[in-house]
A and B are shown apart, each in its own frame.
Chain A
Amino acid sequence: MSDANPASTVTPTHLPNPPQGCGAPAGGVSVSAATGTLGGQAVVEGHVTREGAPVSTGYARLLGSGDEFVAEVPLGDDGGFRFFAAPGSWTLRVLAPNGLRAEQSVQADHGQVTKVEVSL
């Protein structure tokens, strides 16, 4: 990886757990671990709760137009999730045990963190 590439700001020496694969840790990769700054990323993040308590077992899926799958993360212990999306309109779908599910539209913008709170 060239030092001239902005992506080189993400190096193993800067990160405790550098995200180098395609899989995501529960809750999604943290913004600070990703870039150190938000920069031009379009972040969609939030939490899933049921009757006020975090839902820690379940999945958040980001879908494009026509239900096209884009990405998925397992929920974190606090019910959290995070996506680094392209700017645009997306559908967020949450799946949890016992057939619980929820869906809502989200808008992601460059340099913005879009917060989404989901109640099952």
Chain B
Amino acid sequence: MSRSDVLVDADWAEARIGDPGVVIVEVDEDTSAYDKGHIPSAIKIDWKKDLQDPVRRDFVDKTGFENLLSERGISNDDTVLLYGGNNNWFAAYAYWYFRLYGHDKVLLLDGGRKKWELDSRELTPDVPERPRTSYTAREQDASLRALRDEVIAAIGKRNLVDVRSPDEFTGRLLAPAHLPQEQAQRAGHIPTARNVPWSKAANEDGTFRSDDELRSLYAGEAGLDFGRDTIAYCRIGERSAHTWFVLHELLGHPNVKNYDGSWTEYGSLVGVPIELGEAR
């Protein structure tokens, strides 16, 4: 798999507007963004309402995912092109999620909504109608997702990549600086984790840095040994999905998992080790 198999630019997307085999999907936490204007022909998936179980903290199950995609008019053969705001955080999360349930043809729009807007490309409030399909998902691919016990067992043994900001990593903040400080019970990071903020993988316009720059960042600057398995985490798993996309999809490292429980889970667990300050 290479960059061109998973990542497309805005010109590519613009040429596929209305293509019956390409379903453009906007995924944002702030769903009002889609409602005000979106790429023509794009549909919306709400990362929280649509992709999370409404009661317990987990994903919708296989049947739920099948129902969602069927209702949105996505079939197994469609190419799904994902994009979103926040430098594609939630679009990358949805990309990882689609992979988790075995959708083969899924792409990410480089730069997402931000680059599209900065380029002054067309946005429309018109919501397309897509006929219902009968989507069949696969069982979750456990090779892509890390759960808490696996993370605790990985301390000191695997690469743990904390992709939050340095202030969150060191324990100065519990959440990104554009949000109120809430959530986990304790601040800090998982012992032996390296801090490689997701933002280092992105250019200012939200596009991903070049493969050479990314290799240099993770293997060079951060000193990660990709002979070992890797788990990425952040606060709730969407920024780390962005990094998972870089490591697994762009750079082709096979054994990379996303820990979607992330700091909101780990930082609230009783009895687990936590480090404060810089990486040791």
Bitwise, B163-186 to A at CB < 8 A (1) or not (0) is 001110000111111111111010
Residue from the set A1, A33, A74 with the largest chain B CB neighbour count within 10 Å: A74
Residues from chain A with a CB closer than 8 A to the CB of B120 are 97-98
Q: How far is the CB of B236 from chain A (nearest CB, A)?
A: 6
B118 within 8 A of partner (CB) = yes
Residue from the set B30, B32, B119, B180 with the largest chain A CB neighbour count within 10 Å: B180
Contact B181 A84 (CB under 8 A): yes
Bitwise, B103-143 to A at CB < 8 A (1) or not (0) is 00000000000100111100000000000000000000000
Q: How far is the CB of B152 from chain A (nearest CB, A)?
A: 21
B contacts with A: majority SS: loop
B89 within 8 A of partner (CB) = yes
Q: Tell me the number of A-to-B contacts counted with CB atoms below 8 Å.
A: 119
Q: How far is the CB of A91 from chain B (nearest CB, A)?
A: 12
B95 within 8 A of partner (CB) = no
Contact A23 B180 (CB under 8 A): no
Interface residues of A in 43-80 (CB under 8 A from B): 57-59, 61-62, 64, 68-74
Residues from chain A with a CB closer than 8 A to the CB of B119 are 97
- Residues in A lying within 8 Å of B, measured CB to CB: 1-2, 5, 7, 10, 19-26, 28-29, 33-35, 41, 57-59, 61-62, 64, 68-74, 82-86, 95-98
